[in-house]
Amino acid sequence: MDFIAILSKEFQLRPEQVKAVIELIDNGNTIPFIARYRKEMTGSLDDQILRELSERLTYLRGLEKRREDIARSITEQGVMTDEIALQLNQAVTLAELEDIYRPFKPKRRTRAMIAREKGLEPLAILLQMQQPSAVPLYQLAAEYLNEQVPDVESVLSGARDILAEGISDDAALRKSIRELCRREGIVRTMAAKEEDSVYRMYYDYQESVLRMPPHRVLAINRGEKEEFLKVSVQVNDENVLRLIHNQYVREKNECAQQVQMACDDAWDRLIFPSIERELRSELTDKANEGAIRVFSQNLHQLLMQPPIKGKVTLGVDPGFRTGCKLAVVDENGKVLETGVGHFTLPGQTYEKEKSRVLIKRMVEKHHVSAIAIGNGTASRESEKFIVSLLPELPQGTAYMIVSEAGASVYSASKLAAEEFPEFDVSLRSAVSIARRMQDPLAELVKIDPKAIGVGQYQHDLKENELTGALDGVVENCVNSVGVEISTASPQLLSHVAGIGPALARNIVKYREENGIASRAELKKVPKLGPRAFEQCAGFLRVSQSKNALDHTGVHPESYAAAKMLLEKLGYQLKDMKNGGIDTIGKAAEQYGMDKLAAEIGIGLPTLKDILNELMKPGRDPRDDLPKPVLRTDVLDMKDLTPGMELTGTVRNVIDFGAFVDIGVHQDGLVHISRMADKFIRHPSEVVKVGDIVKVWVVEVDVQKKRIALTMVPNRK
């Protein structure tokens, strides 16, 4: 199989690009490293294309191995023919390969096998020929009577079993039937029991196989799993049988009638159950892919939310009976003080006053300017109390509601226990809430992505595929931002290209014992060899280094080129000490970019990347995004009225809309039909997690805690 030709066609890339990517991957290079530092070889392909290409390459290689295994099995059975070999070579999917292999695949004991053991195969062949006979069919069948088949009907039934299995094993026929069923099939759902549930809309429901959206597929799958629904695929039997009859029934005689009966049996007993399973599986796989894609997009946007830099932050983990846990962290996330406040239950005048004094003291002592409140139980009451306190706090102090998703998972983890052995679980949550407002990426990498709560039906998705996709998203985000070596946690470091958990621990241990004053010093870390250094060095920042290039995303392999570039344009490394060199980009254009690249001996993409780093050393791509909304007031659901205009933050994007935080503790839903004044296929075309959007209230149901919003004025 020519992988390069296939991938070039599918991804519309030049063959040399694909060849280079395959070689780089096979040589053990990571996707972030290839995307950032091997642009000349790949034609500047981004990490998303590289990951998709890598996944497709893995599939094709698996397909080729399966093709070889099947060919070997058929050959060992002594039944390989030129025709079968050609069919195997032309198969482009695993399903097609399995269809070809079906007749030769070891089977459990079938009715056709039993019929062959009874000596009925010659009669089956005779029936299939459908030639006119001088004697009635029952006389032909009578010749096969024996102790095992004592009557003519048993003989004919056994012969039909052999024919039915042969028809069912016809790869070309199955392909045609599969396409017909995919095109015309209907998914039908019925109630499995008389009990109200969230699946009520599916108690008597049907939809085309072709048109069923991923979120409905996953919903009915869960309903079936929880035994609320019965799910089936319905097709027009007449259309399918016409297809089978046209291929196998050639005459109008008694033999042909037997063949037709075998066709009907093959469809009803053998082909349809298999095709139904395949279609259900196909729908689930597509829904799985779609849901993972949405989850990945949401996770990427969540991790890449702009940090709130330079603010000492008070984290509040709300609670009722046990009180609200408080934690103050400095600008770098270091814990300065913790405490507990009781201000969420009715009454408690004395406790509320004590909490007021405590929080004011903490804010003033540590110069707190931002307050992060978790959105879990008692969040609403906590928010009201903090807002009532704001006028008594230093001017400019503001708060933000922060998603607690995954905070409890982290707090109870071994990792949190190692990081904060002196704190109880809820105090760890307060620290995590404060830190995830300061720098979402650095804190959220400590949590299993599946626990962060930005997907749909994630517990129903294929575990390995979901984990692989989300790990790729985390890796991409961490490496695109870069990591400061002096402060990074082991968990953050473990996602840097070329560094795993064990090596991350070695780096932290070495840092604590010796300090790390330059990128070159990383080579002294145990087990961090030349290969790992090559992959990770460009993504690590060493702000304490005397070499200004160690503060940037310039890879050490390009240091000589960067210095030559500076010299040619009349600059020195010391010019970067007070920040970037703003004028170097214009100087390079005046000199001539192509001329510069040729004289220095690097490609144009690398030259542009070096220039960008010299202009803005260690630039954080998150800085270009809209900043999170810090609030100074509070709303209640009862305050909302239809038509009210609000500003909110997109919390989650799903197939049928987006949930938006509008500051009332309960997120509102913007249905896909209310997201734009034109047709859109998916909400992700309009919004992403973390977006700041303007919305209007459509409807409020306080009892059910539902808020309907629109992003289009006058769209109800």
| Per-residue pLDDT at 105 exceeds 80 | yes
* pLDDT band with cut points at 50, 70 and 90 for residue 705: confident
Q: Distance between CA atoms of 319 and 425, rounded to whole angstroms?
A: 13
Q: Distance between CA atoms of 640 and 469, rounded to whole angstroms?
A: 39
pLDDT at 457: 62
Residues of the chain with CATH 2.40.50.140: 637-710
pLDDT at 632: 61
- Amino acid, res. 230: K
Residues of the chain with CATH 1.10.150.310: 508-624
For 584, the token pair is: 């170097």
| Per-residue pLDDT at 101 exceeds 90 | yes
pLDDT at 455: 65
pLDDT at 151: 93
Q: What is the fold of 111-298?
A: Tex N-terminal region-like (1.10.3500)
| Per-residue pLDDT at 479 exceeds 90 | yes
- Amino acid, res. 373: I
Overall average pLDDT of the 403-423 stretch: 80
656-697 pLDDT, tens digit per residue, is: 899 988 877 688 999 999 999 888 988 988 988 878 888 999
pLDDT at 496: 95
313-438: CATH, from 3.30.1360.170, 3.40.50.720, 3.20.20.10, 3.30.420.140: 3.30.420.140
Overall average pLDDT of the 560-570 stretch: 94
**Could you tell me which residues come within 8 angstroms of residue 346 by beta carbon, excluding any fewer than 6 positions away?**
none
First CA to last CA distance, the chain: 55
Task: State the residue for tokens 């990951």.
Answer: 51
Closest CA to 449 of 653, 657, 300: 300
State the CATH class of domain 637-710.
Answer: mainly beta
Closest CA to 36 of 45, 27, 28: 45
| Per-residue pLDDT at 409 exceeds 80 | no
Which of 188-197, 442-451, 535-544 is least confident?
A: 442-451
Torsion of Cα atoms, 671 then 676 then 679 then 682, to 10° = -50
pLDDT at 338: 94
pLDDT at 716: 61
Residues of the chain with CATH 1.10.3500.10: 111-298
Closest CA to 396 of 363, 356, 436: 363
* pLDDT band with cut points at 50, 70 and 90 for residue 626: low
* pLDDT band with cut points at 50, 70 and 90 for residue 552: very high
Residues of the chain with CATH 3.30.420.140: 313-438
State the CATH class of domain 508-624.
Answer: mainly alpha
Max Cα-Cα span within the chain: 109
- Does this model's pTM top 0.85? My answer is no
- Average pLDDT taken over every residue of the chain: 90
pLDDT at 46: 92
On whether the CB atoms of residues 652 and 659 are closer than 8 A, the answer is: yes
Domain 3-104 has CATH 1.10.10.650: yes
Which of 82-91, 408-417, 529-538 is least confident?
A: 408-417
pLDDT at 120: 95
* pLDDT band with cut points at 50, 70 and 90 for residue 634: low
Strands 540-541 and 645-654: unpaired
Phi, psi at 713, each rounded to 5°: -55, 140
| Per-residue pLDDT at 379 exceeds 90 | no
